[in-house]
Structure 1
Amino acid sequence: MVYQIGVIGLTIVGVRHNPLYRYTIREEIMICVQGKIGKFGSLMAATMLALPLASPVFAQSDDKEDDAPALGEIVVTATKRPERLQDVPISVQAVTGDLLRSGAVQNFEDVQVPGLRVSRGGMADTITVRGIGSGQNLGFEQSAPMYIDGVYYGRARTQRLGFLDIDRIEFLKGPQPTFLGKNAIAGAINVTTRRPDEEFGGEVEFSYEPVTNEKALFGAVDIPLGDDWATRFAVRYRKSEGYLTNTVTGRKEPEIEDLLGRMIVTGQLAERLKLTAISYFGNNDDRGRNNQSIICQPNFRRDISDAVREPCLFDRFKASSGLIPSAAESARPDLYTDDNGGSFYNRMRSVGGTLLLDYEFDSGVTLSSVTGYYKYKNYQFIDTDQGIANYSTATFTERYNQFSQEIRLISPKDGPFNWFLGAYVDKNNNDVVSTSDNDARNLLPLVVPPPPGSTNRTPAFVNARIIGSVQDSIEDASSWALFGEASYALGPVTLRGGLRYEEVKKDLEFAGCESTPYSGCTPLPVLQADRKDKKLQPAITLEFRPAEDVMLYTSFKKGFKSGGFSGTDGGPFNPEIANAYEIGLKSRFFDKRVLLNLTAFRSDYKDLQVSSFDPATALFQTTNAASARTQGLEAELQFAVTRDFRLSTNVTYLDATYEDFTTAQCFAGQTAALGCNTANNTQNLSGVTTPYAPKWSGTIAADWSQDIGSGLTLRAGSDLYFTGRFATLTDINPNSFQEKFAKLNARLGLASDSGWDLSLAVRNLTDKRTAAFKNTIPGGFNSIAAFTEPPRTFTIQARYKF
């Protein structure tokens, strides 16, 4: 018997039933990749030929009760109650902590999920889902926030806090108005950390990567504390020298040093009352950046001669800091480094705690409380002009603290009628102090003669570009919400209805000073402002289950994100609203050997919040696009070929555009001939793609394992991530696009029943050069810099569990 399965151009042919064995595989398995994939085809074929690895994108548990191949169950908490992933009528992808470790995934930027992008940018980090996300502004809350153990983490830098001792990550796509304490208008990343084991034990892991000279050490221990009580301590230290060479200092960049720690205590306060207490800290230091100039206009860095100027190339070297005349460096050494010996520095310190209480009544109803508090201080020093002399520098000091409380009542799931009620309140304060110093005198030859071939800048330019400024933006915010859902099952049909009401209040005090020429600060008038936003958000879902492992669903949800104030100039921006529609299929068949999920979605956004770089002020300005639309298709296929061999693929087609955006910021260097209205420095981006919205993206993966005797298991694997061309700037500068690429990862490992595990993981096997973000260089005469992603890396891992 032959089965043929086709999903978005993927066909698997040649599986045959043999009555002597429950399932066997014919001598040949042919993988055909069809459709509009272009140059990705050869790499996809290579992925299938390589020894397979469980892709970090697809979470699946091993079920080895018998020799029958089958896909295991994944349990998620996206709806605030444990449910099978296949029973949740939401587009969700889950990944386990073990799979992250096996793929040498060290941070959220390395997690490769189609339709989702986590990137470190120039001033802030961004999370984008289906082409919708928040831009580069410290006044923003994320449109796709992170939740760690049920607590909302909405600020840009907080994605660096949660990557420690992870049990599971759930990636939710589309607006989530019903189940989360704080609303998420584009999607959410739901992180659950590991809980203590009831028996004493632990694990130690060391990894080494020679390209970046990265060393990482992780340790965790479970300690029972008597009947029904236990604690878990986990700590992780990582230090990396980086993968770009700064040709001024001669050192590798970015140098990263992280130290994260967490303690969890669980226990029974009473017969029906369970407590989980979590505390953590995080120290993150980045020296230097994965940043290089890739487009240098003729006037950029003209104080350096053609003979010694480093060319602007997108390669393994850091071209944003080039060679300089030694006499000039000796005369003004203060121009070339910060206090840490480099032109970029980021330091983040964070602490926090979470208290979870769960009480089960006799009726089976569960009352849950989630209390969260965290704070952090983040300091950045940035050589904004990215040349060899600090013509333009900036600092950002962000102090943030948040308290939140959520209460939930959840009915037992043992009848046709189920319900969920929740209440949420939070209060936070964000204080951002930013400074800038622009001194064109630093661009002159200083005390040495101009090198041959260089052209001095005119005195008029020098006198016009000696300015400095300081801004202090203090925002106090509070919000509260009531939300819930009820569902009723009538045979194979289930109707779900949800409702959320939310109010958000923000108060701003913005002060600053500036001077031209710069001889001190002239205070600006203090700006005080406040706003209050409120919204009622309905959600409705219809499910139909024609068979045991088949579910069809369709849903409508209204999303909301409050307005606020820009962290750079205190300017206000309005709330954004979304109407989201989704139709999906979740299914398993062939004795649970094949999983097939399909999703069609469309979300219409009104007043989308957009942060764009303004070349005139060298700041990111925030406005509201009139409207935007994201729509597309998602397909996921998993196939248990044998008990020890599995294939999987996940493909997304995305069409995300600004529908009506006639007042978009012009990009740097844009002229009237290129579409810029020079009278007000705006352009019309209606019908143009949004950032991080490739037409096609996806993964193809395979994993294989085999018991080889003596208590040893051999594992091998590979996975391929591919993406089409996408923009990285909200002004859609044509020089900000990342071209399409495919990256191949591979792994080989050996594990023992006695607890030790040795492995080698290779990421970006074909050594593709790609950029997570591209930006216009302030003061760089419309030049462009890129935040380069890692090259090919080799991680050796040794782990011991006791």
Structure 2
Amino acid sequence: IRLSVMDRSIDGYLDNLAPNATYPDSPTTDETIMRLGLQWQPSENTSVGLRYTYAEYERIGSNSVVTTFAPTLVDANGDGVRETPFVPASNAAMYGIMGIAYPGFNASTYANRSSRDIYYDGLSLGGTEALDNGNGPERVSGTDTENQEFSLNIEHEFANGMTLTSVTGFSEYEYKDGIEADFLPVDFIGRSDDSEFEQFSQEIRLASDLDGRFSWVVGANYIDSSQDINRNVSVDGTFGQPAGTALLTGGLPTILAYSPAQLAGVAAAFGLPPQALPVGVEGLSMWSTVGRLSEWSQDTESWAVFAQGTFNITDNLSLIAGVRYTEETKEADAQTWLNSTAQGLATKTLYPEESILAGQPDIGNLLQQELQGSFFDSWAHHFIDERKTDQVIPAVTLNWNASDDHLLYASYTEGFKSGGFNAVDDQNPVINRSPFCPLQNLPGCINRTEPGPGFEYDDETAWSVELGGKHTFLDGRMRLNWAYFNSEYEDQQVSTFVGLGFVVTNAASTEISGFEVDAAFQVTEKLRLNAAIGYVDAEYGSFEGAACTALQTSDIEFLNFATGGLTPSSPNISSADGLCEQQFDAAGNRTGISQDLSGAWTGTAEYSGSLGAVYVQPLGSMVWFTEVDVNFTDDYIYTGDLDPIDFQEGLERINLRTGLRGDNWMLMLYGRNITDESIRSGGADVPLARGSHMSYYGRGEVWGIQAAWEF
């Protein structure tokens, strides 16, 4: 029986400079993990192992930092100079209210601010049905996760030397998540998720005796899993500043409103007098807050059979070959409703065309959903879809033991990552954008049950060739490993932040080659040195459907604006760099925009590695030890659209450990990232503030003391 318990609390490392910030330091974390292991030997040839893990994790706040805050600029005069701000109306309102409420929050001051500073309220608007109703209190930005894992391993060795192994597993988790999705101090966009996941797995393996010239293993694997996500997205049209918003709109406390001319057009379309749709009526022509309520579920079932054999051709030469066959089925159910505070943010509203076809049109609901479509490209839908895939995955390796100290190998492997369905609620149905649909939510204008592009993504497949060696020198004091690899991916899955979440798409192909070398040298009995370096040359072979950057998007929209609007007969136009173009369907209707990254760098760092040293000095019954390691990486871009503004310069991170240890105890001082490097691991465009960017920052300099005692 073995039991271990870990409990850890970590203070936040980012300072929140927003006035009256709910949480001044972010992110703070609390984590508890318990592991229980039971081992039983019922007979000489049979062993049973049971493992159980329980974990709780709570994070309050985020490590996201707005690193750029300024609207996109376009070349309005054709002189090659970007000097004219150009963003959608909702984005312009965001910049306007920030200028009124937080005049010091601009590009110049933010560029000079420490990367350890954040500036937002840290709350997520609304909740979800599972937590409370949509008009309840704000949920804290962060995550609350609880998970459990069970595994049962039974192994039996037969008299003929064969071994039968059974591995049974079950895991589940629940999490509640809140995201302050505008990343700014205003009350604008909040997202809350409640999710549950369960998975059962069973694997059976039968292996031969390893003593013969030929050995083998065969087996089968089965996995069944399910995931459910309830999500609420709320958009506060007042920005939490109704008086300031009124200065921007000419008197209305929210940007979520229709103009008199727009309302007159709608009234005429329904045969109503103009006074039937007055300006500024909450729930009819104006909304303080609108929202999206969504439910997404996916059931996955897969099974596989596999076999691998090792043939010792000679005493020094062996061939290992294997194959795996996998079948997988995924079923997804994704439904999104659009609502408002007037209806209740937890209300599953009707589609507008349903009330129209029933002869009792709900004009307020129609206008609310039409507004969300025009402002945020959000449309209510219900998708039920299924995908099936099967793959054969071979692998072969040739090993040559040139001597006891030198091994050379060559291998060929294939692999795949299964496709699936995007879980974000920004996925849209097929929309008829013809002149016969002046409002998209009229009957016949939206196919609510047919997913538009992007809901499903395909399998990623790859093959790789590797040549390498493992060597020992100087009577075992030096070890050297090296490998060269060349890989090609087809339909590589690329994750890009779109709307309020990450969306997976497929790049047509990606080519990656490189090498890795690592070495360790025991210089003396007291000093050991180690080093590792890797070089990667990665580029897209073909990727014509990549997401456009914010700047490219504004270029396209400005050209449409300057020419009086897009029509099906419009000639195709592109961004200033020529990479981003509009896409049209067979009928000439625009389906979106995308850039062509074929032949482009994938954004992966070209080289990375580490250097380290370990020194030990006996002190009587104790040992003093000191370890230093330096990890380094080249430049990289951390967003899928390869926006050059989302760029991390090459850096080095230094870690230090020094202390004393005895037979059953240890006392150590440690430092991580002791030069306090600012490291960005990811990022995205700030939603509804086109031109602004946020990045996820790692922890800076950390010092601590660790003690251990074995008993």
The answer to whether TM tops 0.5 is yes
- Which of these two proteins has the greater Rg computed from alpha carbons? 2
- Cα gap change, 1:641 to 1:655, in 2 (>3 Å): same
1:718–1:747 CA contact under 8 A, matched in 2: yes
- Cα gap change, 1:499 to 1:750, in 2 (>3 Å): same
Is 1:738 the counterpart of 2:648 in the alignment? yes
Instruction: Tell me how far 1:526 sits from its aligned partner.
Output: 2.7
- Cα gap change, 1:261 to 1:618, in 2 (>3 Å): closer
- Cα gap change, 1:388 to 1:338, in 2 (>3 Å): farther
User: Which one of 318, 328, 334 corresponds to residue 117 of structure 2?
Assistant: 318
- Cα gap change, 1:339 to 1:619, in 2 (>3 Å): closer
Q: Name the structure 2 match of 1:463.
A: 257
Q: Name the structure 1 match of 2:413.
A: 557
User: Which one of 737, 740, 759 corresponds to residue 668 of structure 2?
Assistant: 759
The CA deviation string for residues 19-66 of structure 1, in whole angstroms up to 9 with x for no partner, is: xxxxxxxxxxxxxxxxxxxxxxxxxxxxxxxxxxxxxxxxxxxxxxxx
* Alpha-carbon distance in 2 for matches of 1:793, 1:372: 37
Q: Name the structure 2 match of 1:585.
A: 469
Instruction: Tell me how far 1:297 sits from its aligned partner.
Output: 1.0
Q: Name the structure 1 match of 2:233.
A: 436
Instruction: Kindly report which structure 2 residues correspond to 1:19-168, keeping only aligned pairs within 5 A, or say none.
Output: none
Instruction: Kindly report which structure 2 residues correspond to 1:600-615, keeping only aligned pairs within 5 A, or say none.
Output: 600-614=484-498
Instruction: Tell me how far 1:448 sits from its aligned partner.
Output: 6.9
User: Which one of 310, 319, 326 corresponds to residue 487 of structure 1?
Assistant: 310
Q: Name the structure 2 match of 1:677.
A: 581
Instruction: Tell me how far 1:487 sits from its aligned partner.
Output: 1.4
1:315–1:769 CA contact under 8 A, matched in 2: no
Q: Name the structure 2 match of 1:80.
A: none
The farther-off stretch of 763-772 and 240-249 is: 240-249
Q: Percent identity?
A: 28
Q: Name the structure 2 match of 1:628.
A: 510
1:264–1:276 CA contact under 8 A, matched in 2: yes
* Alpha-carbon distance in 1 for matches of 2:630, 2:601: 25
Q: Name the structure 1 match of 2:331.
A: 507
What do you get for the CA RMSD once the two structures are aligned? 2.4
Q: Name the structure 1 match of 2:65.
A: 292
Instruction: Tell me how far 1:499 sits from its aligned partner.
Output: 0.6
The CA deviation string for residues 414-473 of structure 1, in whole angstroms up to 9 with x for no partner, is: 232121112100100011122211222116x434799xxxx8366695437954212211
* Alpha-carbon distance in 1 for matches of 2:503, 2:2: 45
- Cα gap change, 1:654 to 1:420, in 2 (>3 Å): same
Is 1:699 the counterpart of 2:610 in the alignment? yes
* Alpha-carbon distance in 2 for matches of 1:260, 1:363: 41
* Alpha-carbon distance in 2 for matches of 1:771, 1:277: 40
Q: Name the structure 1 match of 2:438.
A: none
Instruction: Tell me how far 1:663 sits from its aligned partner.
Output: 1.0
- Cα gap change, 1:319 to 1:541, in 2 (>3 Å): same
User: Which one of 394, 397, 403 corresponds to residue 541 of structure 1?
Assistant: 397
SS at match of 1:794: strand
- Cα gap change, 1:777 to 1:272, in 2 (>3 Å): same
1:757–1:799 CA contact under 8 A, matched in 2: yes
* Alpha-carbon distance in 2 for matches of 1:742, 1:308: 31
Instruction: Kindly report which structure 2 residues correspond to 1:272-283, keeping only aligned pairs within 5 A, or say none.
Output: 272-283=45-56
SS at match of 2:216: strand
Q: Name the structure 1 match of 2:601.
A: 689
Q: Name the structure 1 match of 2:704.
A: 795
Is 1:769 the counterpart of 2:678 in the alignment? yes
* Alpha-carbon distance in 1 for matches of 2:169, 2:507: 33
| One-letter amino acid of the structure 2 residue matched with residue 744 of structure 1 | I
* Alpha-carbon distance in 1 for matches of 2:668, 2:137: 39
SS at match of 1:713: strand
Is 1:721 the counterpart of 2:631 in the alignment? yes
Instruction: Tell me how far 1:261 sits from its aligned partner.
Output: 0.5
* Alpha-carbon distance in 1 for matches of 2:36, 2:150: 9
2:238–2:255 CA contact under 8 A, matched in 1: no
* Alpha-carbon distance in 2 for matches of 1:666, 1:307: 30
Instruction: Tell me how far 1:505 sits from its aligned partner.
Output: 0.7
Instruction: Tell me how far 1:622 sits from its aligned partner.
Output: 2.8
* Alpha-carbon distance in 2 for matches of 1:309, 1:501: 56
* Alpha-carbon distance in 1 for matches of 2:137, 2:701: 30
2:417–2:461 CA contact under 8 A, matched in 1: yes
2:144–2:176 CA contact under 8 A, matched in 1: yes
2:99–2:105 CA contact under 8 A, matched in 1: no
2:100–2:244 CA contact under 8 A, matched in 1: no
* Alpha-carbon distance in 2 for matches of 1:714, 1:390: 54
Aligned residues: 548
Q: Which has the higher contact order (CA 8 A, sep 6+)?
A: 1
The TM-score normalised by the length of structure 2 is 0.73
* Alpha-carbon distance in 1 for matches of 2:292, 2:244: 30
* Alpha-carbon distance in 2 for matches of 1:402, 1:649: 40
The TM-score normalised by the length of structure 1 is 0.65
| One-letter amino acid of the structure 2 residue matched with residue 503 of structure 1 | E
- Cα gap change, 1:795 to 1:457, in 2 (>3 Å): farther
2:245–2:255 CA contact under 8 A, matched in 1: no
* Alpha-carbon distance in 2 for matches of 1:759, 1:796: 6
* Alpha-carbon distance in 2 for matches of 1:259, 1:664: 40
Is 1:361 the counterpart of 2:158 in the alignment? yes
SS at match of 1:669: helix
* Alpha-carbon distance in 2 for matches of 1:307, 1:255: 27
- Cα gap change, 1:661 to 1:268, in 2 (>3 Å): same
Instruction: Tell me how far 1:630 sits from its aligned partner.
Output: 1.7
* Alpha-carbon distance in 2 for matches of 1:653, 1:392: 41
- What runs of 5+ residues in structure 1 fail to find an aligned partner? 1-230, 324-334
2:39–2:48 CA contact under 8 A, matched in 1: yes
| One-letter amino acid of the structure 1 residue matched with residue 615 of structure 2 | W
SS at match of 1:303: helix
- Cα gap change, 1:317 to 1:446, in 2 (>3 Å): farther
- What runs of 5+ residues in structure 2 fail to find an aligned partner? 72-91, 123-133, 259-286, 351-379, 428-450, 556-574, 584-591
The CA deviation string for residues 559-580 of structure 1, in whole angstroms up to 9 with x for no partner, is: 1122211111371111111111
Is 1:351 the counterpart of 2:148 in the alignment? yes
| One-letter amino acid of the structure 2 residue matched with residue 721 of structure 1 | N
* Alpha-carbon distance in 2 for matches of 1:338, 1:585: 60
* Alpha-carbon distance in 1 for matches of 2:530, 2:249: 58
Instruction: Tell me how far 1:555 sits from its aligned partner.
Output: 0.8
* Alpha-carbon distance in 2 for matches of 1:741, 1:457: 46
* Alpha-carbon distance in 1 for matches of 2:607, 2:501: 32
Instruction: Tell me how far 1:477 sits from its aligned partner.
Output: 0.7
* Alpha-carbon distance in 1 for matches of 2:550, 2:105: 27
1:756–1:798 CA contact under 8 A, matched in 2: yes
User: Which one of 776, 780, 784 corresponds to residue 689 of structure 2?
Assistant: 780
SS at match of 1:642: coil
SS at match of 1:373: strand
| One-letter amino acid of the structure 1 residue matched with residue 335 of structure 2 | A
- Cα gap change, 1:404 to 1:449, in 2 (>3 Å): closer
| One-letter amino acid of the structure 2 residue matched with residue 281 of structure 1 | Y
User: Which one of 517, 520, 526 corresponds to residue 638 of structure 1?
Assistant: 520
Instruction: Tell me how far 1:245 sits from its aligned partner.
Output: 1.2
Instruction: Kindly report which structure 2 residues correspond to 1:92-491, keeping only aligned pairs within 5 A, or say none.
Output: 231-247=1-17, 248-249=21-22, 251-298=24-71, 300=95, 301-307=98-104, 311-313=109-111, 315-321=114-120, 339=138, 342=140, 344-442=141-239, 445-447=241-243, 456=248, 461-463=255-257, 467-491=290-314
* Alpha-carbon distance in 1 for matches of 2:304, 2:121: 53
- Cα gap change, 1:591 to 1:742, in 2 (>3 Å): same
